Amino acid sequence: MLALHKSDLKIAANDLSEICRIASFIMLVPLIVTFMYLGNLEPLQILEKIWAFVAPSLLFYLLYIGLAGIKSDARPRTKHTMITVSLAWLIIALVGFLPYLLNGTLSPLDSFFESMSGWTTTGMTLIKVPENVDRDVLFYRALTQWVGGVGIIVLALVVFLRKGTFAMDYYASEVGEQKIKPRLKDTIHETWKIYIVYTIACIILLYIVGMDIFDAVAHAFSAMSTGGFSSHTDNIGYYNSHPNGFMIQVILLVFMIIGAISFLVHFKLFEGEYKRVLQNIELNYMFRILSIATLITFLSLYFINPGNTANKVMDSIFHTIAAMTCTGFSITDLSTWPDLPQTILMVLMYIGGLYGSTAGGIKILRLILIVQVILISMKKLMLPKTAVLRMKIRGKQIKGNEILYVFGLTSLYLIVAFLGASVLMTSGYTGTQSMFLSLSAMGNVGLTDVSGDLWFGMHTIDKITLTSLMWIGRLEVFPVLVLFYSIIYKGKSRKK
């Protein structure tokens, strides 16, 4: 049954309670930074800063107690899992906005926008001058991305890698099905270990090349989660004039790519199966697409305004990787770019990274399936009607219902993005700007192609639209649809 019943909410409450319990402890982590940067604050000011993180922690714990009291022995189905993850991201963003609000950093709506952007690893920000914001708030903002990044990987393992799906069949052959589903907890633990190792490595490298320790931690959290928040107004462009600015950009590029690679692939890398990793079809597609996109972007920028070749090469490489890995880092003002390179970035944001990574978008594996369907369709036109062609990718046959799901998702993804862009256009953004922002929010990328004055002067409806797109895109559309459809279906059932 599609209708949402009390029994469905009881089943979802079990998982939601555990998520709230974990979130209650996460909210206290920024207090470490609070005490490190107290300065000469008065006792009352110190209490206010502590309360900004204790309050949401207590609220999460109260939610945990309340939800844990709701018992259900029923076995959860896919419907319940989708309802759970939809509500989880919404609740976390709603409670997670409190530190911004209680610290006086942002207004209520802007705080919710910032919270959703962080937890969904989008990286869009309404903080105009991060340098003027308290360090503990900036750390919290980076932490939300970092934790959200792991949440996305777990979401892929639990929800999107369902048995019988093409993605599950493919990665079961790559990694071994026994490592994914029967030992799911072990797989999640291993993911955490690898994620932490990469993050520490990124912090150390950034510190070695000249970032101070706070910036190194904040940017490592953003790079690994493919988020994009920065502790500077000019984002990574702040380091353009740094003596080791080039090395900082290269390090961030490497870890953005690492974050956008499936952590099921990273398992093989840590086991020393380098040849198997290099043969991964998604990884090969990613580098081919990036190569073509970077070349077109560079040529477009160069022919319109010749000169500064080295800068244009780096701008092209950095932003195409930032777009495809769905990381909102930037080193230049994209609002000055022509339509063609902006369109290239839009396509990359739509495609996104690998399945089971922290990146957003429709995922490269689905793009590969679409390409295969097109090729098979072309072959069928040239063969007799009686010819039977089987769709396979790396020896794995793809079923018809899986093809329908992928085409449905990719089409629906674009429809929602167009609807979002349509709303933005009513506020005065151009068609290109509107679609760029819509895809950036929905792909959880964070790149923007509008001037600072236009961005920070956004209307309320634009903020609500972009916040909604972040939520819908992070959950790959269908979980949110299942939630809304269940509510609507129940309402119709009552009327009858």
Asked if residue 438 belongs to a domain, the reply is yes
Query: What pLDDT does residue 176 have?
Result: 45
Asked if residue 324 belongs to a domain, the reply is no
pLDDT in tens, 14-46: 778 888 999 999 999 999 999 999 888 888 989
Query: What pLDDT does residue 276 have?
Result: 82
Asked if residue 347 belongs to a domain, the reply is no
User: What is the domain-level CATH number for residue 474?
Assistant: 1.10.287
Q: What is the mean pLDDT of residues 420-449?
A: 95
Q: Is the pLDDT of residue 423 over 50?
A: yes
What percentage of the chain carries pLDDT values higher than 90?
59
Asked if residue 351 belongs to a domain, the reply is no
Domain holding 417, by residue range, is 400-495
Asked if residue 65 belongs to a domain, the reply is no
pLDDT in tens, 323-375: 999 998 999 999 999 999 999 999 999 999 998 888 999 999 889 888 888 88
**Higher pLDDT among residues 490 and 279, named by residue:** 279
Q: What is the mean pLDDT of residues 441-449?
A: 94
Q: Is the pLDDT of residue 10 over 70?
A: yes
Contact 115, 144 (CB under 8 A): yes
Q: Is the pLDDT of residue 57 over 80?
A: yes
Query: What pLDDT does residue 295 have?
Result: 97
Q: What is the pTM of this model?
A: 0.90
Q: pLDDT category, 267, cuts 50, 70, 90?
A: confident
Q: pLDDT category, 173, cuts 50, 70, 90?
A: very low
Asked if residue 390 belongs to a domain, the reply is no
The total domain count for the chain is: 1
**Which neighbouring-strand residues pair with 396?**
393
Q: pLDDT category, 486, cuts 50, 70, 90?
A: low
Q: Is the pLDDT of residue 181 over 60?
A: no
pLDDT in tens, 208-234: 999 999 999 999 999 999 999 999 999
Q: pLDDT category, 172, cuts 50, 70, 90?
A: very low
Q: Is the pLDDT of residue 287 over 90?
A: yes
Q: Is the pLDDT of residue 492 over 70?
A: no
Q: What is the mean pLDDT of the chain?
A: 87
Asked if residue 422 belongs to a domain, the reply is yes
Asked if residue 486 belongs to a domain, the reply is yes
